[in-house]
Amino acid sequence: MVYEDYGLDRGHVNLELSYMLSRKSLMKLTHDTTPVKIGNFRQFQGFIRLRKSDQVLLCVEVSLRSNKKTMKTQTLMENQSDYNHDEDTDTDRERFDYCDDSDGATSDDEDFRGYGLTPKLDIEMKKEYKPKIGWKLRASPTSDSPRFTVRIYVSEHTCSVTERSARCRQATPEIIGSLYTDFIGGVEPTVLPGHVRQSLNMCFGIKINYWNAHRTLKCARELVRGSAESGYHELPVYLHMIREANPGTFTRLVVDSSDRFKYLFIAFGASIKGFPFMRKVVVVDGTFLQGKYKGTLLIASSQDGNFQIFPIAFEIVDTENDESWKWFFKQLSCVIPDDERLAIISDRHKSIGNAISEVYPSASRGVCTYHLYKNALLKFRGRELFGLVKKTANSFRLSDFETIFDEIKAMHPALHRYLEKADVRKWARTTRK
């Protein structure tokens, strides 16, 4: 069929048929598994039976009979439409290159033509060896389909390993990252560059160093999740979809004069509707964000009757300062209005106190005892003092509070002054008259 279809002269060319097993089958074999050659009609019938259950391609290698050292080979990828026409629409076919060196530049051999020769023949071949043509493969796409046709294929290596060490210059992290996401996937935070290296080596025989694997994983994550810049760019659409999917959701987005992100506030509709049934205590705090552009996440939460945390609102700002906290509480007041029965708990950050006094003048403010205990441990370093501070904050009777507080003053006057400066009325259950 090949002789007839392509008008080849049987007296001047040689034909060699071979096929590579599918990737699924190769994963169970060693990485240096060679293609299966077809030498008779029985073996060709075996190939046809294999195609009925697996996706394999037939490689027809056409070579000139004259001057085998410098011959060029033209490879035609046959899709075998006569035997399995249903597979012609499959764009995810297996491709193979059975002349590629899977060991790369780690091999110590310089001349690949000397494999299997005796030392004497090996020396004679090296003397007469003159590099003329290197390994070559040229392919072109087929019309508008994702398939391609191999036009020229020179299978003989005439260059040394050191000259081929840079042969992957076009295999950029972007290209390998696309290959990784299409066939392997897995870009979760638990995936490390070492896992990427091992996966690419096992599946495709690609060997890359740690930093290339790191950049490949970074590109793969951007392909799956998008870049940080695209995330900020698509925020308006994201907020619109949130409001559509969660009726009653309150959102605000602020950009600067250069149309760059500044503030973002989100309070889901379910949280807004559920707060009237919560305790009238709102806890606010901030934490730093990890990522390319950093930032700070401000959070407001409450507590239900079963002492479970109930989220109310979230805001992303540049940092904790007077302007950001004031903007946060202004947006929060649209969700939770000012009320004298409301209590707002936070750490001793001055910007929080300034914003509460301006936006929530009727509400009461309290200091989080967890932050108070932590500061006491870091500044004064005393486990016995830590227990006394905790007893002071949890005392219900005024007499018990005064007794323990005077004991702290006698043991550590500096800690006593720190607790007084923190405003006892904001962190203790009971206070002195």
DSSP string spanning 143-155? TTSS-EEEEEEE-
Query: Do residues 132 and 158 touch, judged by C-beta distance below 8 A?
Result: yes
- pLDDT tens sequence for the chain (433 residues): 888 777 787 778 888 888 877 776 766 666 667 778 888 877 787 888 877 777 777 888 888 875 444 343 344 344 443 434 444 434 333 333 333 333 333 333 344 344 444 444 344 444 444 445 567 888 888 877 778 888 888 877 666 554 555 455 677 888 899 889 888 888 888 999 999 999 998 888 888 889 999 999 999 999 998 888 888 889 999 999 999 999 999 999 999 888 889 999 999 999 999 999 999 999 999 999 988 888 999 999 999 888 899 999 999 999 999 999 999 999 999 999 999 999 999 988 999 999 999 999 999 999 988 888 888 787 877 667 778 888 888 888 888 888 988 888 888 888 888 888 888 888 888 764 4
CA angle 62, 142, 86 (to 5 degrees): 90
* pTM of the complete model: 0.57
How far apart (Å, rounded) are the C-alpha atoms in residues 395 and 406?
14
The β-bridge partners of 358 are none
- What pLDDT is stored for residue 87 in this prediction? 40
Q: Give alpha helix (H) positions in 14-118.
A: 23-26, 41-51
Question: Strands, E, within 85-190: which ranges?
Answer: 136-141, 148-154
What's the confidence (pLDDT) of residue 4? Answer: 79
Q: How far apart are CA 10 and CA 22, in angstroms?
A: 31
Output helix, strand, coil percentages for the chain, rounded to the nearest 5. Answer: 40, 20, 40
Exposed/middle/buried for 178, CB within 10 Å: 0-12, 13-18, 19+? middle
Q: Are 193 and 213 in contact (CB under 8 A)?
A: yes
Q: How far apart are CA 301 and CA 303, in angstroms?
A: 7
Query: What torsion do the CA atoms of 326, 330, 333, 339 make, to the nearest 10 degrees?
Result: 50
Q: Which strands make up the sheet holding 73-78, listed edge to edge?
A: 36-38, 13-19, 58-64, 73-78
> In sequence order, what E strands does 43-112 have?
58-64, 73-78
CB contact at 8 A, 312 and 300: yes
